[in-house]
């Protein structure tokens, strides 16, 4: 373990060594994203930035101007990154078409997490783009001193429920005991009134396209459950589940659950492998989406 004061001396030693290739650094540090990126770029050492925070625009500029190459991926759980990409694209194509729908979000994390899920917040933005009226102010400001379960109003009948009590996680949700201290379970329930003024078409399209999405290479090796009412992919160890609960014409739920940290380690390995194949490039910043789009290539 090196102290921050020793970081540059270590990088100097690495960059001046007789190695045929410089190593790839994987960074999970907190609060030093841009500082560390500047050091890696100073010595042209390729890196994967898995830490959150920092100034993303400045980080990209540092890499480009130095002629270095990097992958910036704050979320290394590639199946979840793929799900976010899917929802981002879907919400752009169906912008405004879910006006009148109700959204109920439920997310569960270990009791030490004081704020709302960042992934769930990203999904809120997709649903807002789709036209669902959501006031996210309370979700954005949430900071809990004690682990409790709390339901926050979003707008109308839409809600955002945060689960932090291990008793609820164990009993009502069924989170395995060994993962109470490290998990992320998310459900997004969409419903609409039986009204000719509110179209069921975008929900039907979401069902159809999500089933196609579950056939992507990112789920290679996953077990398949093809409903009805469930369409989902489950990792071989059972600790990653992504899918759709098709409840009826006027209701459906999207979900993604992660137990433990293995999926992040697997994603990190994929990111490093990708960067290794691109390490000769100059002034280039890749993302986890670039890695996803290249899964199965050059392996």
- Which residues are marked as active site? 109, 113
Q: CB–CB of 189/203 below 8 Å?
A: no
Q: How does strand 69-72 pair with strand 284-287?
A: parallel
b/e per residue 254-275 (b: at least 16 CB within 10 A): bbbbbbbeebbebbbebbbebb
Buried b (16+ CB within 10 A) or exposed e, 171-192: eeeebeeebbeebbbbbbbbbb
The alpha carbon of residue 181 and the mean position of all alpha carbons in its chain are separated, in whole angstroms, by 19
Among candidate residues 287, 286, 233, the one with its CA nearest the CA of residue 263? 233
Angle between helices 262-277 and 78-93 (to 10 degrees): 80
């Amino acid at each position: 373990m090196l102290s921050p004061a020793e970081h540059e001396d270590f990088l100097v030693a690495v960059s001046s060594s007789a190695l045929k290739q410089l190593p790839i650094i994987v960074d999970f540090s907190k609060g030093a994203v841009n500082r560390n990126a500047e050091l890696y770029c100073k010595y042209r050492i390729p890196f994967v930035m898995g830490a959150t925070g920092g100034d993303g625009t400045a980080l990209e500029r540092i890499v480009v101007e130095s002629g270095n190459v990097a992958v910036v991926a704050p979320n290394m759980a590639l199946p979840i990154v793929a799900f976010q990409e899917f929802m981002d694209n879907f919400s752009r194509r169906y912008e405004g078409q879910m006006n009148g729908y109700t959204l109920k979000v439920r997310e569960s994390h270990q009791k030490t997490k004081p704020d709302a899920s960042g992934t769930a917040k990203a999904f809120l933005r997709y649903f807002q783009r789709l036209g669902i009226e959501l006031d996210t102010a309370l979700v954005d400001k949430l900071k809990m001193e004690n682990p409790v379960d709390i339901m926050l109003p979003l707008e109308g009948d839409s809600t955002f429920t945060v689960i932090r009590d291990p008793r609820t996680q164990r009993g009502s949700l069924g989170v395995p005991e060994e993962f109470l201290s490290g998990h992320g379970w998310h459900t997004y329930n969409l419903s609409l009134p039986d009204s000719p003024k509110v179209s069921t078409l975008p929900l039907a399209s979401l069902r159809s396209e999500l089933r196609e999405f579950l056939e992507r290479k990112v789920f290679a090796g996953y077990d398949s459950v093809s409903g009805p009412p469930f369409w989902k992919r489950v990792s071989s160890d059972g600790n990653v589940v992504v899918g759709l609960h098709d409840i009826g014409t006027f209701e459906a739920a999207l979900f993604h659950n992660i137990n433990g940290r293995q999926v992040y380690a697997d994603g990190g390995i994929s990111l490093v492998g990708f960067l290794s194949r691109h390490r000769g490039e100059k002034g280039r910043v890749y993302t986890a989406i670039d890695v996803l789009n290249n899964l199965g290539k050059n392996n």
